[in-house]
Each structure stands twice: as C-alpha cells, then as structure tokens.
Amino acid sequence: MAGRIARWGAALGLGALWWWAVLRLALTPHAGALEGAVAAGGWGLSLLPVHCMPKARAAGAVAAGRWRAAWRTSAADEAPVTTASPPLRSDGGSDPS
C-alpha cells in the first residue's frame, strides 16, 4: 500500500512540475532553460513504450535469428538477378513518328 501511495505521489508531483514548466514557458516572458529542459524531458518520457512485454508473448513477433538466417543464405540458393538496363535514348524518350 505504501508503494502505491509513493508511486502516485511521485507521478502527481512530476506531473505538476511538468505543467508548471509548460505554463511558465507559454505565459511568461522570463522563462528560461530550466523550464524548457523540464518540459522537453517530460515530453520525451511520454514517448517511451510503456506497454512492453517479452518478445515471446508479443503478437506477430519475429523469431530470433530470422534476419541472421536470411543474410546467411548463399547466392546459389537464390534466383539469378539481372543487372541489365534498357539503353538510354538521346531524344528524351519522345517518338516523332
């Protein structure tokens, strides 16, 4: 119970600090680097993924080693790739006839 109260208190305190910085930046001409750093830092924290789960439980997760295996396939296993390109035309591609 005490841990829950501490987490809520920290969240409310940091939220109030962030709102103070944002409002001070928006409303007063004397806001400075401290307010900007607090506002930018709080916004940056909001971009963190908070709904994370282990990769094994994630829906649609790519299996471990899949990309490694794709890079290690030999060229003999794949179809040959053609590198020929069409000849360049000096008339810009227009056909007068």
Q: Between 93 and 68, where is the model more confident?
A: 68
pTM, to two decimals: 0.44
Q: What is the helix (H) or strand (E) element at residue 35, kind and residue range?
A: helix 33-45
In angstroms, the Cα distances linking 13 to 9, 10, 17, 46, 59 are 6, 5, 6, 16, 35
40-90: pLDDT as tens digits: 888 777 776 666 767 666 666 666 777 676 666 654 455 555 666 666 666
Angle at Cα 13 formed by Cα 10 and Cα 17, nearest 5°?
A: 135
Q: Between 24 and 94, where is the model more confident?
A: 24
9-42: pLDDT as tens digits: 998 998 898 888 888 888 888 888 888 888 888 8
